[in-house]
Structures are given as C-alpha cells and as structure tokens.
C-alpha cells in the first residue's frame, strides 16, 4: 500500500482538500484503488457539535461518522464511499488513548505523545487503507505547518516514512504571493514553510504552489533549488473557473505521473475522457434556473456545500446553470414571501438544528405548496413540510416538533419510537445509511426508478406515526418507509407538480458525473416551472 500525505503552509484555505481530491481522481483514472482521509488538529472529537457558521457543513459517511466537509470533496471527486477511519481529530485521538489507558491497555506505562498519541494516529492511517482494500491512501493534514496543534500529526507521518520509506510521498501545498508593486512572484514564504516542515523531519517530494497566475520558470526553478525538490515537482495550482476543472489543470503538469514515479509505482495509462466531457458540459450549459435555498446558516455558504453541489449536479444533467438565491429563513414572513420567491423556479429547505428561523421555513414550505413551486425538503426540510401541512391543511394550529415546542398538543415530529424525554439527547441521533422502501406510483418511485434505496441520515426526531392516517386522508402521501414500516422516510403532495420531503440527506451521495435522482428530478421540475 502506498501513502500520500498532503500538508499546507504559509496560510490556510489554499485548497489542500481540492488538491487531495483531484489527485485521488487522477490516480483512480489510472486504474488504482484510492481512498482519502482527513486529519484535523482541533480538539473536538468530531465536527458534529460545531456550528456550521464556523466550520461549514458536517458530512456524514455511509457508516454514520460525522466528518469534516472536505470528505464531501473526496467522495464527489473520487466516487468512493469513505468510512470511520477517514476523519480523525486531535480530540478523537486523545479520547481513544485515554479510554485505552483507563482500561489498562498500556500495562501501567506512562502515556506520552510519543509513542502513544502518534501510534494512535498511525493506526487510523493504516486502518483506512486496510478497510477499503486500497492501493493508495491520500491523507490530508489539516491546519498549517508550524501550528502547535498539528505537530503530533506531522510526527506520525514522519514515522510512517521511516517504517515504509519506499511507499510514502509528501506533497506540500503552499502560497506563492504576487507583489503588484514590483510585478513579481515571491518564493520566500514557500522556502520558510518548507524549512519549517523539514525541521520536523519531513521533506516534501512535491510542492504544489498556489498562485493567482502562471509562475515564471525561473521562480519554479528557484523553489525547486531552495526547497530541495526536482524541478518538475513544483506544480502550479491556479484558480479555475469551476471546481471540477482542478484535476485537469493539475494533470496538464503531469502531477499523477510524477506521484507514480515518486512512489515507485508502475505508471498506468490515464483515461480522462469522461472527466473532460464533464467539464466541457459544465462550460457549455445553455439553460438556467434560480433555486431559493432557505436556511439559517446562509452567512457561510459552506454550511450547505453538499446541497449546492448536488443542485449543480442536477443542472449538469439538464444542460442547466443553477443560480442559488440565498435566503435567511429568519427574514421570511407571510408579507414578504411573494416578493422573496417571485423570481425563483424551485425552493430547497435543507437540514439544520434548533428553533431559530423555523417559522420562516414553515412559511416557505406553505408558499411553495400553495403556489405549486417545486419544493425539495431535506431532513429538517421534510419535517418543516409536515408541520406546515398540519397547521394549514389539517387545521392543527399548534402543530409542531417536540424539539421546538414540547407543550404542543400535536407533536407531529417526535422522538424516535421508544424514546422519551429522559434520554440523553447527545446519543440518540440516527446516523449513516438506512434503507427506504419506496411506495409504488409515487414521484419518489419515478425519480429513483427502483423499489428500495439506502440513504444517509443525521437527525434525532421522526414523523409521529400517530398522525400518519390523518395526513394520508388529507392529501399528503407517505412515499417512503423503513422496511419494517415504522419510520417515515419520505413524504410528497401529489396535488403539486413536485413537492417532496425526505428524512435523509441525499446530497451526500450526489456526484458531478452522476446526479442524485432527487436533485435531477427537482431541477427538471424547476425547468418545467420556468417554461409554464
């Protein structure tokens, strides 16, 4: 098994994740079995409790692991399902080590950073490849070289290089700033960053230079000379028009061939025809629709990263460019809804937690239903649709979720079956992939064109089965159920052209060259709305 470690220097936000994801795609197109992993230096055990405004979305894997959003990039680019070993934080490392210490697994030894913390990090790195039976493991180290938090991770990958000297490649992503006053690119920040990394025992094989434009050859030669890498191992990472052009931009400079050489891999022919066709299709989109994305974290667009990408994927398959109209749900009122949604052809209400902005989302779902605007509700977005229908169709004005209003006499969204208020809420979420049986004759069945699917969940509350018959009698169809029939997975309103709410997160399984069926159907409905 081969190991590629991607580090970052000078500043954060240089695109380590996109570099790692792009390289993964390139190596996969050479026929290698690739898996990716992110090591994050923050002390949270996982990002599950972190604010989306600070950290962006929480991505969920098939096995129910709450992870960093970069794993979404990995899955979309590499098209491989990741697992619980694909995301490791400092908090999780210490959590695991301390539990082992309490169980006596260290046999009375003094527990230290080296070897116990670094051994735990190495265990995750080795396990992710073993679990996926991969040929190549790509591991991104979060943070910036020099940060005190990331030192144990750097030490762990240094040790792996000693253990497997022929099987490791270090890639350092760094900034080469342009100084307009002197009209030149400056390599000194890169030199200092590499020196910092070398002081920790890690020597980069490849430097990916993040720059605003093409680097002059003399600058690249200077970086190679002073950073002790081969000249062709200085690879530019320039800004591209669309994210999915990044693999092609890097491959123009021979990145995957260089990596194969540095890892002593027999180079296989690369086939990028499908990816090239995808980027060509993206550049040549002829139609356009506007989709309102109504949430409470819209100040940071990364909070809904997978939803936005899935909407784009749906557009790619319909030759359509997607304009996102970002709407803060706290700003939506009955009075301004007609103005807010006057120029949109579809409305998407994504997931979320907490009561802030809920009433605006309920008004949004009602406006979509009453005006026959295509509506796609994801997780909380489905629950919102259920609450709105109860209030304005069934006539239960106090209908609500037990999460938002425990005093409601119509808790149409309640704890999972068998739960009660005394349960510790931190450990009651339904996480990961669960099966959904699709009802015949529904829009859901038309979109999926199959009888059963597995979709990823991240929620604590469920549709209350006490009211299921009331909904069905009044025009809302239960379109998807768990195999035992106990959990409602999807609802729809047949009287509308497209009104679907799902309890899960389909956005996590959408791919740029293979849009998720629900997003594909949603964009088709939005196009039809525009033509009406």
3-state secondary structure of 400: strand
Tell me if the bond preceding 420 is cis, omega within 30° of 0.
no
Q: Which of 262, 388, 507, 524 is catalytic?
A: 507
d(CA 320, CA 282): 9
Count of Cβ atoms closer than 10 Å to residue 100 Cβ: 14
Q: What is the 3-state secondary structure (H, E, C) of 48-68?
A: HHCCHHHHCCCEECCCCCEEC
Nearest alpha carbon to residue 399 among 351, 442, 433, 365: 365
| 217 catalytic per annotation | no
Query: Which residues, 6 or more positions from 51, have their beta carbon under 8 angstroms from its beta carbon?
Result: none
d(CA 488, CA 495): 20
d(CA 17, CA 23): 10
Q: Which of 379, 436, 447, 496 is catalytic?
A: 379
Q: What is the DSSP string of 162-224?
A: HHSTTSEEEEEEEE--EETTTTEE--HHHHHHHHHHHHTT---SEEEEE-SSPPPHHHHHHHH
Q: Which of 73, 505, 516, 524 is catalytic?
A: 505
44, 160, 238, 403, 511 from 145: Cα distances, Å: 20, 18, 21, 42, 32
Rg (CA), the chain: 25
> CA torsion angle for 155, 159, 162, 168 (degrees, to 10)?
-80
Contact 410, 455 (CB under 8 A): no
| 436 catalytic per annotation | no
d(CA 393, CA 495): 13
Phi, psi dihedral angles at 234 (to 5 degrees)? -100, 110
| 379 catalytic per annotation | yes
Contact 329, 348 (CB under 8 A): no
Count of Cβ atoms closer than 10 Å to residue 175 Cβ: 20
Q: What positions carry a catalytic annotation? A: 379, 505, 507
């Amino acid at each position: 098994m081969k190991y590629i470690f991607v580090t970052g220097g000078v500043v954060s936000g240089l695109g380590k994740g996109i570099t790692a994801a792009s390289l993964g795609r390139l190596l996969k197109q050479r026929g290698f079995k690739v898996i990716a992993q992110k090591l994050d230096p923050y002390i949270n055990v996982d990002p599950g409790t972190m604010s989306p405004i600070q950290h962006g979305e929480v991505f969920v894997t098939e096995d129910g692991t709450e992870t960093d959003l970069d794993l979404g990039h990995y899955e979309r680019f590499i098209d491989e399902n990741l697992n619980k070993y694909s995301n490791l934080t400092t908090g999780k490392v210490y959590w695991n080590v301390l539990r082992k210490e309490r169980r006596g697994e260290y046999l009375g030894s003094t527990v230290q950073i080296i070897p116990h913390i670094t051994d735990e990090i190495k265990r995750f790195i080795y396990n992710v490849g073993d679990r996926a039976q991969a040929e190549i493991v790509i591991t991104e180290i979060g943070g910036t070289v020099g940060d005190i938090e990331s030192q144990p991770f750097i030490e762990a990958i240094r040790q792996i290089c000693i253990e497997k000297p022929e099987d490791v490649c270090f890639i350092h992503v760094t900034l080469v700033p342009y100084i307009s006053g002197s009209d030149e690119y400056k390599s000194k920040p890169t030199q200092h960053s590499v020196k910092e990394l070398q002081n920790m025992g890690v020597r980069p094989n490849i430097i990916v230079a993040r720059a605003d434009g093409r680097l002059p050859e003399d600058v690249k030669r200077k970086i190679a000379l002073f950073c002790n890498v081969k000249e062709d191992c200085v690879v530019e990472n320039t800004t591209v028009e669309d994210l999915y052009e990044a693999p092609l931009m890097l491959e123009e400079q021979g990145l995957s061939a260089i990596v194969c050489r540095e890892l002593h891999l027999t180079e296989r022919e690369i086939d990028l025809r499908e990816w090239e066709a995808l980027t060509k299709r993206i550049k040549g989109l002829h139609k356009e629709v506007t989709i309102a994305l109504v949430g409470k974290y819209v100040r940071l667009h990364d909070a809904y990263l997978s939803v936005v990408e899935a909407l784009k994927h749906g557009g790619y398959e319909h030759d359509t460019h997607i304009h996102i109209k970002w709407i803060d749900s706290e700003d939506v009122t009955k009075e301004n809804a007609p103005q807010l949604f006057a120029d949109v052809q579809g409305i998407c209400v994504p997931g979320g937690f907490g009561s802030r902005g809920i009433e605006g989302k309920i008004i949004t779902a009602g406006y979509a239903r009453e005006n026959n605007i295509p509506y796609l509700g994801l997780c909380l977005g489905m629950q919102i649709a259920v609450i709105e229908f109860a209030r304005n169709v069934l006539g239960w004005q106090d209908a609500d979720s037990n999460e938002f209003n425990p005093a409601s006499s119509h808790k149409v969204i309640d704890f999972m079956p068998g739960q009660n208020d005394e349960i510790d809420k931190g450990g009651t979420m339904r996480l990961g992939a669960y099966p959904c049986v699709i009802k015949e004759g529904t829009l859901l069945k038309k979109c999926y064109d199959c009888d059963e699917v597995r979709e990823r969940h991240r929620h604590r509350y469920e549709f209350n089965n006490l009211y299921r018959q009331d909904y069905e009698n009044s025009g809302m169809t239960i379109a998807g159920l768990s195999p035992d029939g106990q959990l409602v997975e999807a609802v729809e309103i047949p009287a509308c052209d497209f009104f679907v709410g799902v309890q899960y997160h389909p956005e996590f399984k959408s791919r740029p060259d293979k849009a998720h069926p629900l997003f594909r159907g949603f964009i088709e409905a939005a196009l039809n709305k525009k033509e009406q």
